[in-house]
Structures are given as C-alpha cells and as structure tokens.
Structure 1
Amino acid sequence: MIKHGLDPAQLALGGLRVLELGSGPALAYAGKLFSDFGAEVIKVESPAGDAWRQMPPLVGAAGAAPESALFAWLNTNKRSVTADDANAEDGAWLARLARTCDVVLDARALAAGPGILGTPVWQAAADEAQGHEPIEVALTWFGESGPYSHYAGAEAVCRGLAGAVHGSGPADGPPHMPHDVQSAIVVGLSAFSAAVAALTGSGQGSRRYVLSAHEAIFSVVEMEAGMVQDQRHPLRRLGVNRFCGTHPAGIYQTAEGWIGLFTHTLPQWKGLCEAIGRPELGSDPRYASGPERMARADEIDALLLPALLARTAGEWFAILGDKKHPAVIVPTMETLLGQQVHRQRGAFVPVDVAGVSLEGPVVPLRLDAAGPLPGGRAPVKGAHDLYYRTSGLDHRPRRQLSRVAGERLPLQGLRVVDLTMGWAGPLASRTLADFGAEIIKVESTGYPDWWRGANFTEAFYRDRLYEKNSNFNLMNRNKQGITLDLTRPEGKALLMQLVETADAVIENYSAEVLPKLGLDYEALRARNERLVVLSMPAFGLGNAWSNTRAYGGTLEQASGLPLYTGHPDGPPAMTSYAYGDPIGGLNGGAASLLALFVQQATGQGRHINLSQVEAMLPMAAPFMLEQSARGTVSPRQGNRHPLHTPHGCFRCAGDDAWIVLTVTDADWPALCRALDRADLAADPRLAHASGRRAEEDRIEQAIKSWCADRDAETAMELLQSAGVAAGVVRPMSQVLQDIHLRARGFWREVERAHIGRYTASTAWFRTGPQPLPIRHVAPTLGEHTEAVLSGVLGLSAEQIASLERQGITGTVAKPRQAREMA
C-alpha cells in the first residue's frame, strides 16, 4: 500500500524493528529518524507517559485535551507501549520484545545513571543465555567512565561543559542558552548514525555503541578547539553576534525585516562596501582582513546600521547575492513557512496532534523514494500494548546476531572520494572515516582545502602555513590525502577512474562548480551507476537560491533561529561562529550512511540533494510548530526553560565565571538543601514548576546570591553532590584541559609533519572504555597521492612522476600565478 505517496517497500529502513527505551528529545529524534524512514519503532513509556508529552507548545482542537506539538513531531510514525520499571513481569516481557528487534536505542542511563547499562535489556538476568543480540546504541550524559560519569545531566549542562555556551551572548553576560531541542538534535543524529553504521556492518555481527552527550555536543564548537591551539581565539566573549575571526558577521535591521551578513574574504568586504555606496572602504587597508575589521567592529557597524535601513531585507539579499556576498534574509517563522524555496522542496510536513494538523520541519536526509515519510502522527500512550504483548512477540529480526569479535570497523571495505573543504563537508566524510570507511580526500596544489588557511600571503606558501592549521587537522583524521588538478583533463580523468572504484562521493562545492568542470552527478553516475553522491549547498540544488554563497553562520541566520535566541531585551542572537557547519556535517554524514545502507541492500546508487539550511530547521521545530498552531510565536524567554524552573546561567565568583543548572520537580528539594533555603523548600506553592514559575525572579535571586560567593567549580561540585544537574560554563581553553575529557582519553596528543605535537579529539562513540584509535592523523597536502595512484589505479612510478612534473599532482601549494605558468 502506498503511504503518503511513498511505497513502504522502498523506504530505506523498512522491515527493521527498533526498540526505543527511556525518555528525552535526543532519544526521540534518533527514533524519529528510524520511523520516518519506515522502521517499526516501538517507544516504551512509563505508565504515567513520557514527560515530554507535556512540553510546550500544547495544542488541541476544541473539546480535546491539549497535547504537545513538539512531542508529536518528535514521535511521528512510532508505536507506543507502556512498562513499569519496578515490575518484574514487565522486565521479562521487555527482554523478550528486545530479542525481536534489530536495534535497541537505550536512553535509560540519562535518568538512572550508566550503571543500568551493565545488563542489556534483553537479558532479564545477568546470567541468562544470550541468543540474538541486537545492535545497541546507549545514550549517556557523560559516558560510562570519568569523573563526571555519575553526574546528573541535562542538555543545557552538557552544552555548558562542552564549551558551547560560553562564547555566545553579551560581553558582560550572561551567556545565551538555546532551547534544549537543539542539543538533542545533535545527540539524536549521532545515535542514529552509529546505529546505521552498525546495521551496514551487521554482516560481521552486532555492535554496542555508547555515546556521551557531552562529547557529541562538543562537535558544534570543535572549530574553537583548533583556534585556541593556534592562538587565533580571543579567549573571551566578544558580544552578541560577534565571533572571533571576522566582521561584519551578524544580523542587521533593514527597512523591512532582518538581513544576515557573513563577510569573510576581502572580495566579499569590497562587494558589501560597493552595495552600501561606500566603495572607497573596500580598498582601505584598515579593513583589509577579518581580524582587522573585528578590531573596528563598532566603527563598521556605525556605518552599516543606517545604510542597511535604506532597503528591505529581500532587496539586500538580491543585491548582495549578485555580488556573491554571503547574505540571507533572517526570517520570522511566518516568513520562513512562506518561503517558496522551502515549499518547493517539501521542507514543511503535516504533523497531526489532538485533532489539529500542524506544519513541522521534514527530516532533512532526502533519499527520494527511500524516504523520509512526509509527516505523520505520534502514537497514543500505550496504544500498541496488546499487540506487542501477544502476537508481536513472534516477530523475527532481520538477522540473528551475536557480538562482533575483534576491532573491525563496520564500514571497513567501503571507499569514499572526498571533494569537500571547510567544516561541514569534511565533518560528513570524517564521520564515515571514523566508522572505518577508506576516505580519499582530493585537493589540488593551486586550491587546497580553504580550512588550511585563506590568507594567501608569501608566508602562507614559504612557511607552509597550510600545513599548520589545527582546524584542518581536527576535521580530517583517518583520511588519505591526494592532489589532482581537476581543471585539467588529466586530473579529471584520474578522478573519474577513482570514482569507478568508489562507493560514494561527498562534495560541498558551490552549486555551479562541478557542473562547470563536467563532474556533476550525471557524469559521475555514467561511470558508476551504484555510486552514492552527497551534495550539500546552502539551499540545496535545483532552485532559485541554489547559488547563494553561505558560511556556517549564514545557515543559522537563514533558519530563523536567531530571532528566537537570546535575552528578551536583546537583538536577534546567533549561537556560535558557524553553527550551520557542524549541523550540516552531521546531517551529511547521517544521510551518506543511510544511502550506503540502502546501496548495500539494493545495489542502487542515488544523489542526495542536502540543503544545509533545511538541516538547521529541526532545531527551529518548537517555534515553527507554535507558529503553525497559533499564528505567532511566544516572546523570547532568554535562558529560561519552557517546562523546568529554575533553569539558567548564573554568575559565580571569579572573572566571567558561570554555571548552568536546571531543576525538575523531583530535584527541587535537593536544590533548596544545597542553597540552605529551608523556607523555599517549605513553601507548598513551589513544589511544582507552575508555582515556581510565578516566583521565578525570587528563586533566581536566591541562586545568584549563593553562586556569587563560590567559584564555578565549587558550585558545580556542591550542586552535583546534592543531585542537582549543574555544570561549569567552560570556555574552550578550559574544555581542552577538562579533567573528565582528559581522564576518558577524549583528547589525544598526536604528532604530524610540519606542526609537531597537537591535541586531537576522538570519535564521539565508543565500543568499550577506551576511545576509538586515531588510525592516522590528517594528511599533509598530497601525502598519499603516490600510494593511491599506484595502489588503487595501478599507475607506474614513471606515470606518477610525470603527473607531478606537469603540476597535475604535488605536495607543495602553489600561488595562483605559479600554477597558471606551470
């Protein structure tokens, strides 16, 4: 039967059964990714129901009990069963049900601590015979080891400790904290990717992956770890919409609406100056580089603010787009839902809840006939109890599995040609590399990856500064690197030969680049019909905005998120320097993994047309759903939480020292004890969040007074000892030295040519107590050209030497003039 215009038999994950244990938005989003691609996802709730069923916005038709629109969106196309943790019979039944599943997504540790993971759910007793062992992905706040492993966690707490809060907000604080669902999307994507990688490698057996939300959330600010090491980070908060490296890179009011700018290169600055009628500023040496412009940010804004008020956001978008300047309309949710580029792509899908049909963001991993389903409805609590306690137990998993022995990685044997630069694309390919795929990264000596550096001075070439950028080194571990000049027939021919041997190609060039080179999808497919190709421009391919220039900050601006982030009395606020890059990269990695799983099953190749702006939209789901339901979005609440209170960022003793804390009804007595405020504990009006919300100012003042006398580390330890979820708001310089991350081996000291020792991150998933090894550090320019051309394509030593003499390959970057003379 055709469902939502799609054939269920064609859906990427059709025929799989997934058990979803625990609660929280990260688990729900991981399960949603499965269910929206056709898997039978069984959500296990307590008899009282999932707590997120109460998460605003609440909606309902006249006469119907209101329900959470956000819960409905997170749980489309799932089944629901109920089970009591304290009931032994329910435990035995869950063990039987788990053995019918291909995958178990287990988030029980988020509430109960990692100790609960010691016995898998499919073992009712520790000594029970195993039988089928499903793939297991366990979510924890801080992993199974390390000083924080026993800590109470929350999305905001992990975000603060990971360095993803400190850099955003007013210079004097408090830093900004975004909606919990944003961190949850990151963790859920990571869990889904681990599960799909394990499914792809399930011919070897099943695997168990344990994720730390803390480490997964770090991925959204990983670039800053490289900037700190390279001494390019200011080590302090610069203010709302001001991030280290360049200016203007913010949000500005126009005659109608807001325009987002991200001015990185000198040509972009010159184009902006021409657009506002001040071309002389484009050649003024005081503004020649991003750092120089950042030093004069106030001066530049004083020029920009009145100039940009002369036209509407739409007019500026068109004018600056013609000049290839990264600029976008920063939309309200009403504007976003009306943008035809997204409508034409089907970016908004129906979500049925409580008798009302709303619009929410589509899952952004587009596989055409293989999914995702365009919307759906969430299950009623316990709606499927009877079935899964009777005939549903007769189901057999796709494969009877036992645990993989040894260190083999699930994607071992797959080959990916990597045509990416910067952050987003290399993160997508690094995801596959970390799961064992062979990644062949293709650069050229004339156009190396711009994350090696984009300031092409004499020193850049003379001192090989392109080998000394820690951001490049962080993002390109576990890859081989070759050089080919794709503007020349010989280089293009060699690339095509590589494509013939590959399983996938990942590229993030501007939309027009590969077609100009004769290397678009149709050309690649003609050489390899089973090829998976991921393209990831800002707005996707094939629409009016496909050629829009964008950086990671541009993607965040275009999603509309800044209008709903920040303090109530402040301007629209971006979250980090390049938020859209890691989100695009994580989605690109997940989409590639999913397409490779389908390729393995069917032999079919496909072109994944990923829009990186669309990849940001799930983070805007709470606001989009509210706009759809009510025709408006509630005013910004700053750092306050829609469900829990108190929740916020509080100043501690010391220079720019802060902690994050979040308190549920169950935690409230513990907080009162920690604060030594028996009067608050004794007030019956404050026992529930609704009552505390009415007294939020008074409660927050009590917390501020307590924190002011304690340094942040002490405050965190005291609150955690009391059982309250709290964490230090760490700047990135502290994250690099964090005792928990160091104890877990998340940071590794490695050696690389031209740079010596540097600190490298490790993968955000683990199969045991130790991190996965870094098989090899990021490649130097062209490091593996000879090995790949000889070992993969069979070229002789003389053929390889000839290519280097002609300048088609090489290991030394060339200035443009030298390249053109070669």
Structure 2
Amino acid sequence: MQEPDMAQLALKGLRVLEVGGGAAVAYAGKLFADFGAEVIKVEPPQGDAWRQMPPLVVPQYGVAPESALFAWLNTNKRSVAADAAQPADRAWMGTLARSCDLVLDARALEQGLAALQQPLWTWGQAAGAATPPPMGVDFTWFGDSGPYKDFVATDATCRALAGAVHGSGPVEGAPHMPHDVHTGIVAGLGAFTVAVAAWMGRAQGSRRYVLSVQEAAFSVVEMEAGLVQDKAHAPRLGVNRFCTTHPASILQTRDGWIGIFTNTLAQWAGLCDAIGRPELGSDPRFFSGPDRMAHADLIDALLKDVFPSRSTQEWFALLTANKHPAVIVPTMAQLLEQAVHRERKAFVPVQLGAAQFEGPVLPQRLDAAGPLLGGRAPLLGADSAHYRAAGLQRAVPERAAAAAGQLPLAGLRVVDLTMGWAGPFASRMLADLGAEVIKVESASYPDWWRGTNYTEEFYRDRLYEKKSNFNLMNRGKFGITLDLTQAEGKRLLKELVHGADAVVENYSAEVLPKLGLDYAALRQVNPRVVMLSMPAFGLDNAWSNTRAYGGTLEQASGLPLYTGHADGPPAMTSYAYGDPMGGFNASAALLLGLLVQQATGQGRHINMSQVEGMLPLTAPFLIEQSLTGSVPERQGNRHAVHAPHGCYRCAGDDAWLVLSVADDAQWQALCRLLGRADWAADAALAHAPGRRARQAELDAGITQWTLGRSDDDAMQALQQAAVPAGAVRTLGQLLQDPHLQQRAFWRTVERPYVGSYISSTTIFRQDGRPMPMPRVAPTLGEHTHAVLQRLLQLKPEQLQALEASGVIGTEARAKAPGKAAANTAPRGQARPAKPAVCG
C-alpha cells in the first residue's frame, strides 16, 4: 500500500478543537488528526481522566504512568491545559475556538447539557457580538431532548438503554457487556462522518450537530429492530447461539480456536464433508438454520469432539476449500503476527514520551491521502505555550449559518451496488446527509435482505417487498434495476457512473471483474470517480476471497477471546457486529475520498478491509499485548476502572440493570440510596481500586437491592441519586421506549406492499430537529424509469424495450437455471438460503 504523504493528507489545513473526555470524542479527533488535521485537545489541568485508563505505560523517567490506550486514541494531536473555572482561561478558550474550523465538544458527557448552553466560541466575546459558530458536533448521552436527556451515564449504561446488551450472553445469568471503548468507537465514527459532511458543505454555511451516544449505540443492533417488526425476533439463545442458524460457533482445535458460520444448506453440507460425516449434509433434520438450531446441542457435541483432531490452520484450509465461512480466531499475539494484516500495515507504532508500542491503524485507506501510519501522542499541556502565544494567530474565513433544511451533501451522486447490511448502511448515511444515492439491483438478483427463500410465494406475494430490515437500511435512496449480466445493463451502469461522484460495492471479489465492471473499467468511464470496495480482509491478498458474515468478521478480529467470563467459552455478540462497524467505517472512508476528490479532481479505489474495521474495538487488548507480551483472561462484566460496575438482576422476566460507578462521589450516593452506611464509612472502599478488590461483595449487595425492583424503578431511583444506571432494554422494549418516542427517533411511515412500519431516523440532529427523511426505501425498480429518463435521457420506447428484454423491471423474476445466487454474494456476507433470525 502506498505510504501517506504529509502534503496530500485528506484533512490537511483543517483546524479542529477537541474538548471533553472519553473514547467517543477522542476517536473522532483521532480520525481528524491521523488524516492530517491540526487537532487541539483541551484538557483540564489534571489531565483527561482517560489518561489513567489501563493499560498503563511509563512515558519517561520521573513521570507517572499514563494510559497507552489514551495515547493510541490521541496520536498526532496537540494538548493544551486550561482551567475553565478561571476567567482568563475561559476567554482564551473562546478565542481558540473561534480560530478553529470545527469544534468537537464532549463537555456534556461529563457536565450535563448545561455545559452546552454557552458555547465555547462565545466565551470571552464582547457583549452583543454575534459571531456565527464554527462547524462541529456536540456529544450527548441521550440527545438534548426527551425524558433521559439529563441522565448521568457511562458508555455501558448508554449501551444497555440502546438495546445492545440484552441479546448477548448465556440464557441463564447476566448478559455480556463489552469494553467501554466499543461504544466510544461507534459514536466517534458517527460524529466524524457528520462533521466531515458539514465541512464538505461549508459553502452553504456553518452547521452544528448534536449526536446521541445512545442512538449511535443502537446502530449496531438495528437489524434486530426489523426482525421484531417481522415477528422473527428470538430471545437470548445463549453464548454463540447466533440467530436461528447454526452452527455459528467458536470451536477449540488442537492448538487454538476456529470460527465457523453456517448459514446455507450448501455450507452445512460442506462442513459435514470436512468433518467426515457427509451423510449429515443430506439429513432432513438439519436442512434449514431453524432446523439446526432446534438440534443445536447435538451439533455442538459432535463438533466439540471432532475439532480438537486438527490444528486451526488445517481446519481453516479444509473449510475454506469446502466453501464454508471459517476464520482463525486469533489471540492478540497471533493477530499481531498474521501476515495478511502485516502486509497491509494494520498495526502501527504509537509513541508516548520515550515509550513505544503498536496499535491498530485506521481502516479508511486512502494511500497518499492517509491515514498516518502511527504517530506520537502529546504529553499533558505539551502545546500550551504555543497556543497561548503565536498559535492563536490564524485567518478564519467569514462564517454564516447554513439555511434551515439544507443538507451538506446535496449535489453528490452515489451509485450503490451493495446488498445486506454493511454496504447499504454506509450509503444510507450519505443519503441521510443529502447525497443522491441510486441503489442498483437486478430483478433476478435483488438485494438478499429482501429475502432469499425463493419459493413460489416469494414471487407471487412479493415477499421481497415486505422485509423490514431492507426497508430500514435503504431509506432515502432511489431504487433502480439493471441486469448487469446483459451488455445493455452494463452499458447503462457505466453511463450512470459517468455522471456519479462515487460507487460503493460489496460483491464477492470475482464478480465485478468477470462482468467487466471493476474499478479499472469504471475509471475509464469516469476518471474522477471514488469507488469503495469492502471485502472481509481487503483486496489482493491471500485471504481476499474468504467467505464472511458480520459474525465472521467479529471472530477474525479476536474479540470473542476477550468477551464473556473466564470460566466460559470465547463469546460473540448476538448480532452481526462486523456489518454495522463496516458500514460506519465505509461511510467515513467514502466521505474522505470525496473530500480529496473535491480538492484535486482525482478519483481513487478505496480498498477497505472490514476486519480492520473491527480492530479498533480490540485496541485495549492488542495494545496490552504489544506492551507487555500478554493479556489477562476474560474479566466478564467487570471494568478496568469503574467499580462497582456490572449487570444486575431485577424483578421481572429476564430483567436486568447496568450500573457503573465512575467516581467516588457517585459511590457515596449509591451507598446512601442502598442504605449501606457501613460501605460508605469503609475507608477501603472509598476509592475505585479498593472497590474493585471487593467487587464480588459489592455485586451481592447491589443484587439484593435490585431484585426487589423492576429495572425501570431501579434505574429511576439511581438516576435521581445521580448514579449512572440504565435498564437493559430488549429490542421490543426499545421500539416503545418513551425517550426515543418523544424524540421522534422512531417514525411510522407508509410504503407500498407493507403499509405502515417503524423506521429509525439519524443519530444526529441539526437545530434540535430530526433530520428529514425524503423517501422511504424503494420498492424493486421503483425509480428506474424516472432515473434513466432524468439522467440518461432515455425515451419511453427505449424503456419499454429494456423491460421486454429483461434489463429492467419492477417484479422479481426467478433465476435462470444453473445460476447460483451466491455468485453475487456481497463481500463480508454470504447469501443464506433462508433469512437468519437473530436474538
């Protein structure tokens, strides 16, 4: 891959102010800094609290240990220290904010919404002055409206209220909670995407957005909101019981772990051949995913006996040869050694003082335009002197507020060749921000999220129009059909690309080259087009053709080895985690590519690895491996810093509450609420290290209290005491959640063949209002005539001829004999024979 060029970095020349703590704003700032922006991180005199987030490293002699994870989150930034309680510092911070192009403001996460009532750029400003604000994003836990808006929160409690906890873990016992950095990465990506979009549309004026961390966290389980509406949702099925397809497992081999994901009947048959039991491949007990889930215990026992007979590498080679989705589930030591990642420079050096270690690279690969391959993190206040003197001198263009209703990406055109979740999610984010997204399907090969059980009923009753997940992921788009196996279909696609700014695709690696529609062909049509491809492991390497689902991407990242309890197996989440992460990363990559296109007029092919998109979630563990040569065993639901912290049983059917005490004042408030004067007076419990040492004792006492209350009652009592707590919402409950209802996050919309259904809206707001939804998801080929007439000037008789030859159409057609649907399976997602039902 081409090395980055400091002179060509995508965000060079941009000045960004980052204020507030936590992983979300830090990761958004990291994206800006690693792509060349001048990111100024303002910290309090004592430093950002995350400077003490393990793992710790001694940066230099005579300096207290600091967080290596914090250093990775803050590479290539500048640090200034300021005390906002001091008038002189407030005035200086206001002047600094007014000198910036963008402000990322996370003060509300620590101080509440009151912190946003007087924006930074107004501090120290002359009375009566009316300076239009710099662009930017305000981070909030729950938005700036609704019943939860003043809740105190942590990443963990926010995730619980977003529906992203309940479905993972054992059937009996507490659901699993991942590391806090997961929620921060998701929210940071969402904030970065909308901020870059705002910058791209700066000619229309300055925009500021408010981001809800809760709504961002919901994005990783949004698929399940569709399943609930289709009455296909299942309860928590157990560790590594993924959907009603089986086996989707992590299995111990002779020397490690292998991840498998069996969805189609052909994949099941391939697995049976590989384990030497071919007769099971034709056993009617196991024909469908639900059938196999009904016999999951039998299947698991069989596989548990067989897989220790070979090494992980042997199983990987055998299963992939049998076209079965399988990946090595690496420890962090193994991950750091994997050749595919090393060839792509997926691990980069991070420096903190004299200390150096490795961390994950950003997955948005623009070659010379970035990202930087590692960098140095600033010590606290390292750049204060500079910015308190000459550093404030900077010419800033005149600003005016953007007109209400204008969207920043208006005028951009994107040709969308994606299916499933990851790709459509990426293009939907661009549509939400105003881009014209033209989704291309075929009447013979529609998006497989429309359904893949190709029965007579599927065609007769238009079941392909009735899948809520498809409708959720494709709002705001224009839908057309083109048969890309026909010469005329290819020609028309090329004509559309000629007038487009970007193309995004997630077909299997071999499909577009065979069709003559790969990047080499499309750049001949449009040299300035930005094309994004998103295979599991990236293009042009030994694992590029690996079949993968969102769950497979999670397995390949190694995360399951660090999720769950030490006495249990490596644990996956209950949803296709890699898919929404791929969508977030792809939308950010597309916007960066388009920003460079605006500046240079040049196109590019973005070769994005979806597994690399999962690696930032491994950062706490991967960095510790690099630092110390080992990673502690799984910690269950305990936290590296907060205590007490966990998931506690409440009164009611499978009802739980996440509680996370982030500081000593919250601990004392908890003790008062629980009537535990003995805990409050115990000096050994006064600070978090002492509480972590007695976590089991605290858990028992808290559970005794929560068992007598519903999850909602417990949450409300704790919130009134200013203790971070959140009910562990199911997806069904989330659709009725009073906070999201009042915020109009859910909208009931109408669509042909479906009638009304509930759609989500965006995770960010402008001017306190939900973003507009110009159209619901398209029916198959709904806009074909209008788009081809408007953009390619086709006449009615030409459109009739195209329909007669099958190039276009508005009704799904049965596939020609001998043509396998898997030929157009999107990268990162194989096409199942039946839709998977997730729990």
Provide the rounded CA distance (Å) in 1 between the counterparts of 2:22 and 2:65: 20
Per the alignment, residue 309 of structure 2 pairs with 310
One-letter amino acid matched to 1:268:
Q
One-letter amino acid matched to 1:539:
F
Say yes or no: does 1:50 pair with 2:48.
yes
Deviation of 1:584 (Å): 0.4
The answer to whether the 8 Å contact 2:90/2:124 transfers is no
Deviation of 1:667 (Å): 1.0
Provide the rounded CA distance (Å) in 2 between the counterparts of 1:388 and 1:73: 23
The answer to whether the 8 Å contact 1:67/1:354 transfers is no
Matched-pair identity in %: 66
Per the alignment, residue 122 of structure 1 pairs with 121
TM-score, normalised by the number of residues in structure 2: 0.96
Query: For 1:465-544, what aligned pairs fall within 5 Å after superposition?
Result: 465-544=463-542
After superposition, the Cα gap between the structure-2 partners of 1:153 and 1:62, relative to the gap in structure 1 and judged at 3 Å, is: closer
Per the alignment, residue 422 of structure 2 pairs with 424
Provide the rounded CA distance (Å) in 2 between the counterparts of 1:804 and 1:104: 51
What SS is found at the alignment partner of 2:191? helix
Provide the rounded CA distance (Å) in 2 between the counterparts of 1:130 and 1:519: 52
Give the paired residue count. Answer: 816
The answer to whether the 8 Å contact 1:59/1:354 transfers is no
Provide the rounded CA distance (Å) in 1 between the counterparts of 2:694 and 2:436: 57
Say yes or no: does 1:632 pair with 2:630.
yes
Per the alignment, residue 392 of structure 2 pairs with 393
Deviation of 1:132 (Å): 4.8
Per the alignment, residue 231 of structure 1 pairs with 231
Deviation of 1:114 (Å): 1.4
Per the alignment, residue 164 of structure 2 pairs with 164
Provide the rounded CA distance (Å) in 1 between the counterparts of 2:156 and 2:724: 9
Deviation of 1:274 (Å): 1.1
The answer to whether the 8 Å contact 1:105/1:137 transfers is yes
What SS is found at the alignment partner of 1:482? strand
What SS is found at the alignment partner of 2:272? helix
What SS is found at the alignment partner of 2:484? coil
The answer to whether the 8 Å contact 1:167/1:237 transfers is yes
Provide the rounded CA distance (Å) in 2 between the counterparts of 1:343 and 1:443: 36
Per the alignment, residue 768 of structure 2 pairs with 769
Deviation of 1:317 (Å): 1.1
Q: Please, what is the CA RMSD of the aligned residues?
A: 1.4
Deviation of 1:646 (Å): 0.6
Q: 1:437 aligns with which of 422, 435, 438?
A: 435
Structure 1 moving runs of 4+ over 3 Å: 61-65, 125-128, 817-820
Provide the rounded CA distance (Å) in 1 between the counterparts of 2:355 and 2:83: 31
Per the alignment, residue 666 of structure 1 pairs with 665
Deviation of 1:645 (Å): 0.6
Say yes or no: does 1:381 pair with 2:395.
no
Structure 1 window deviating more from structure 2 (469-478 vs 251-260): it is 251-260
After superposition, the Cα gap between the structure-2 partners of 1:75 and 1:668, relative to the gap in structure 1 and judged at 3 Å, is: same
Say yes or no: does 1:145 pair with 2:142.
no
The answer to whether the 8 Å contact 2:3/2:368 transfers is no
Structure 1 window deviating more from structure 2 (710-719 vs 761-770): it is 761-770
What SS is found at the alignment partner of 1:502? coil
One-letter amino acid matched to 1:685:
A
What SS is found at the alignment partner of 2:248? coil
C-alpha distance after superposition, 1:5-60 (max 9, x if no partner): 53322000000100001111111000000000010000000001000000000123
Per the alignment, residue 192 of structure 2 pairs with 192
One-letter amino acid matched to 1:486:
L
What SS is found at the alignment partner of 1:792? helix
Per the alignment, residue 334 of structure 1 pairs with 333
C-alpha distance after superposition, 1:764-784 (max 9, x if no partner): 111022211211000000000
One-letter amino acid matched to 2:172:
D
Provide the rounded CA distance (Å) in 2 between the counterparts of 1:558 and 1:210: 34
One-letter amino acid matched to 1:652:
C
Per the alignment, residue 791 of structure 1 pairs with 790
Provide the rounded CA distance (Å) in 2 between the counterparts of 1:125 and 1:452: 55
Q: 1:459 aligns with which of 439, 453, 457?
A: 457
What SS is found at the alignment partner of 2:18? strand
The answer to whether the 8 Å contact 1:79/1:379 transfers is yes
What SS is found at the alignment partner of 2:605? strand
Structure 1 window deviating more from structure 2 (316-325 vs 72-81): it is 316-325
Per the alignment, residue 720 of structure 2 pairs with 721
Per the alignment, residue 740 of structure 1 pairs with 739
Per the alignment, residue 567 of structure 2 pairs with 569
Per the alignment, residue 293 of structure 1 pairs with 292
Per the alignment, residue 180 of structure 1 pairs with 180
The answer to whether the 8 Å contact 1:446/1:819 transfers is no
Provide the rounded CA distance (Å) in 2 between the counterparts of 1:119 and 1:91: 11
Per the alignment, residue 676 of structure 1 pairs with 675
One-letter amino acid matched to 1:194:
V
Per the alignment, residue 835 of structure 2 pairs with none
Provide the rounded CA distance (Å) in 2 between the counterparts of 1:366 and 1:6: 10
Q: Name stretches of at least 5 consecutive residues in structure 1 with no aligned partner.
A: none
Deviation of 1:817 (Å): 3.3
The answer to whether the 8 Å contact 1:270/1:281 transfers is yes
Q: Name stretches of at least 5 consecutive residues in structure 2 with no aligned partner.
A: 820-839
Per the alignment, residue 824 of structure 2 pairs with none
What SS is found at the alignment partner of 1:816? coil
Per the alignment, residue 104 of structure 2 pairs with 105
One-letter amino acid matched to 2:104:
L
Provide the rounded CA distance (Å) in 1 between the counterparts of 2:703 and 2:597: 55
Say yes or no: does 1:74 pair with 2:73.
yes
Per the alignment, residue 412 of structure 1 pairs with 410
One-letter amino acid matched to 2:486:
R
Deviation of 1:601 (Å): 1.4
Provide the rounded CA distance (Å) in 2 between the counterparts of 1:600 and 1:178: 39
Q: 1:34 aligns with which of 6, 24, 32?
A: 32
After superposition, the Cα gap between the structure-2 partners of 1:265 and 1:687, relative to the gap in structure 1 and judged at 3 Å, is: same
Deviation of 1:576 (Å): 2.6
What SS is found at the alignment partner of 1:9? coil
Provide the rounded CA distance (Å) in 2 between the counterparts of 1:13 and 1:256: 45
Provide the rounded CA distance (Å) in 1 between the counterparts of 2:421 and 2:782: 20
Provide the rounded CA distance (Å) in 2 between the counterparts of 1:775 and 1:119: 33
Per the alignment, residue 825 of structure 2 pairs with none
Provide the rounded CA distance (Å) in 2 between the counterparts of 1:161 and 1:448: 34
Per the alignment, residue 578 of structure 1 pairs with 576
C-alpha distance after superposition, 1:721-758 (max 9, x if no partner): 00001000011110111000000000000000111110
Per the alignment, residue 750 of structure 2 pairs with 751
Query: For 1:618-629, what aligned pairs fall within 5 Å after superposition?
Result: 618-629=616-627
What SS is found at the alignment partner of 1:195? helix
Structure 1 window deviating more from structure 2 (768-777 vs 178-187): it is 768-777
The answer to whether the 8 Å contact 1:53/1:68 transfers is yes
Query: For 1:75-90, what aligned pairs fall within 5 Å after superposition?
Result: 75-90=74-89
One-letter amino acid matched to 1:185:
I
Provide the rounded CA distance (Å) in 1 between the counterparts of 2:622 and 2:746: 38
Deviation of 1:456 (Å): 1.4
The answer to whether the 8 Å contact 2:538/2:544 transfers is yes
